[in-house]
Amino acid sequence: MIVSAFKIIGASLLAVALIWALVLGWWQGNDHTPSTTELFLYLGALPLAIVGGYALLRGFIEHLKAPAASQTSAPSDSVDPLANGATQTAEIERGFTINLIGAFAISGSGDGPSDMLAAQATGVRPTPDNSLLDDAGFPIFTARIDALDTDDIGESLAQHDASLAEDIGRSEHLRMLALVDLILPAGIAQAQEALSQCTAISRLNLVWLIPPGIDAALFPRLQSWLESHYLAAFEPTQRALSLRAAANESDVMAHIDRMVLDAAGTSNDALTMVLAAASSIGSRTAASWSGRQGLFSADRQSGQIPGECGVCLLFGNPDSSDTSVQLTRVSAAEREKSVDAGGRISGALIEQLIAGLLAVHRVAPADIKAVVSDADHRQSRVGELLDALGETFTELDPLADCPCIGAACGATPPFGALLALACAHEHALSLAQPVLCISQQHPTARSAVLLRPMPLVAGGMPPAV
């Protein structure tokens, strides 16, 4: 240590002496008389700058040569969230499943999951909407459902509660209720059929997920309206309705995961219906998205396209339906860096979520015949998904086998994942093979679930609950 210090001091003094000799020699050779400032600069500041620069360079090189310190926690984008100590659950709980016996959906790209899958496959895309203009007066691209009648839904609300339609306020929220009116009857019809045909089922539990922006104080009045208009045929002892706020995609998938987990500890004598609807088509939403530079336009291809959707998922006893698909728990995690932040887009997190699911349920990657995502037209989402599938799913055709539902129906936050789930249910039934469903619309929240048509093949997943 002392020898090294003497070497550094000696080298520094030698460098200073050399600089002085060169400067004094140059002044003498040119017969130059330096000023006080020149003496300070050339005999003081210059040697110090050179010696200091050398010291900084040497320190930087030594830093690069030093071994990297081991990370105490690896980035979540490259670690299996299911193996992380903070999120690990008991092995038996990770293997819980539930039976999805019916899936109904509507969006701007179709009146049902099969129509939406066909629209995406044939290249149907949102179009300019002349009824909704941007700040420059140009039509905004939307995936509008033309069949929605907000006047009728307004009258329905007024008949039940004179001021409810006015209190709901925004046109997007009226469109949401019109979507409920379109999608819920089909789910109710299947639930009634199951109750009448399967003696093991005695009750319907309806969970209505409410998108952000609706005052929670309106929940009791909305509940009363829905009960009187759609559940009147059920005896009070046969039904239960609850409204739950869903702030974002992560919140929605957490509800689904909790439902799968809770189902394991209850009897199989009830149907559970999840109802969700949301519309992004309205002037307030357009202004909000445009204000944060998030609205799609000719100059902003990375923006979102407003869409709308209604989804109704029915869970219960597989004996009550011939369209039963087994749904796993949700494997979910958060990206450390927003996918919209720019730079290289990694699909490592989704890859790890998928790997964890397949390992828990003993499914080989080659057995997966399709991957349904809620991704839209944005290259950031598509690139992330393709990177996640990588070399593991080489047999899948990125276009034919990996439909990105949002590309045709636009952005439907926070329920794009449920829309993709309904389409994955349809895909699993039509293929009679396992299908993955991925949620990746949110900037950071990511989730994956596995769907398998019943009856399950030998050696597959654990028994359904």
Give one DSSP letter per residue of 393-427, joined into a string: TTTS-TTTTS-BTHHHH-B-TT-HHHHHHHHHHHH
User: Shortest CA distance to 326 belongs to which of 465, 457, 451, 462?
Assistant: 451
Q: Hunting for tokens 């990206």 — which residue is that?
A: 335
Cβ distance 350 to 440 under 8 Å? yes
Closest by Cα among 203, 131, 213 to 177: 213
Contact criterion met (CB below 8 Å) for 286 and 140: yes
Q: What is the pLDDT of residue 380?
A: 94
Looking at domain 84-453, what is its CATH homologous superfamily? Thiolase/Chalcone synthase (3.40.47.10)
Q: Where do we find the tokens 């396209």?
A: 305
Positions of the chain with pLDDT lower than 70, given as ranges: 1-7, 65-90, 265-267, 318-321, 456-465
* Secondary structure class of 69 (helix, strand, coil): coil
* Torsion 289-290-293-297 (CA) sign: positive
Torsion of CA 273, 326, 197, 191, to 10 degrees: 10
Q: Report the alpha-carbon distance of residue 336 to residue 175 in Å, rounded.
A: 35
Angle at the Cα of 435 (from 430 to 438), degrees rounded to 5? Answer: 130
CB-CB contact of 264 with 303 (8 Å): no
End-to-end CA distance of the chain: 69
Rounded to 5 degrees, φ, ψ at 109 are: -105, 0
Q: Which residues of 233-246 are buried (b: 16+ CB within 10 A; e: fewer)?
A: ebeeebbebebeeb
Comparing CA positions, the residue from 110, 224, 204 lying closest to residue 160 is 224
**Cα–Cα distance, 148 to 153 (Å, whole number):** 9
pLDDT of residue 72: 43
Six-digit token pair at 76? Answer: 């979540």
Residue linked to tokens 């957490």: 254
Beta strands in 228-287 (DSSP E): 239-245, 270-279
**Cis amide bond preceding 414, omega within 30:** yes
pLDDT value of residue 74? 44
CA distances for 231 relative to 86, 220, 245, 327, angstroms: 41, 15, 21, 26
Question: Helices 379-389 and 348-360, interaxial angle, to 10°?
Answer: 40
Please say whether the beta carbons of 99 and 324 come within 8 A: yes
Question: In this predicted structure, what is the pLDDT of residue 37?
Answer: 79
Structural tokens at position 458: 């030998």
Q: What is the CA radius of gyration of the chain?
A: 31
3-state secondary structure of 401: coil
Q: Say if CB 443 and CB 413 are below 8 A apart.
A: no
Summarize pLDDT for 106-138 with one digit per residue, the tens: 999 999 999 999 999 999 999 999 999 988 889
| pLDDT at residue number 260 | 92
236: helix, strand or coil: helix
For residue 380, give the DSSP letter: H
SS3 371: strand
How big is the CA angle at 68 (ends 62 and 69), to the nearest 5 degrees? 120
pTM of the model: 0.78
382 burial class (0-12, 13-18, 19+ CB within 10 angstroms)?
Answer: buried
- What integer pLDDT is reported at residue 54 of this predicted model? 76
Coil/strand/helix, residue 55: helix
Residue 448, C-beta contacts closer than 8 angstroms, at least 6 positions apart: 330, 331, 332, 350, 353, 354, 357, 436, 437, 438, 439
Segments making up each domain of the chain, as ranges: 84-453
> Beta 97-107 vs 370-373: how paired, if at all?
unpaired
Query: pLDDT tens digit string along 360-396?
Result: 999 999 999 999 999 999 999 999 999 999 889 999 9
- Shortest CA distance to 350 belongs to which of 257, 415, 439? 439
Separation of CA 394 from chain center: 24
Q: Which residue has the tokens 């496959």?
A: 121
What pLDDT score was predicted for residue 5? Answer: 62
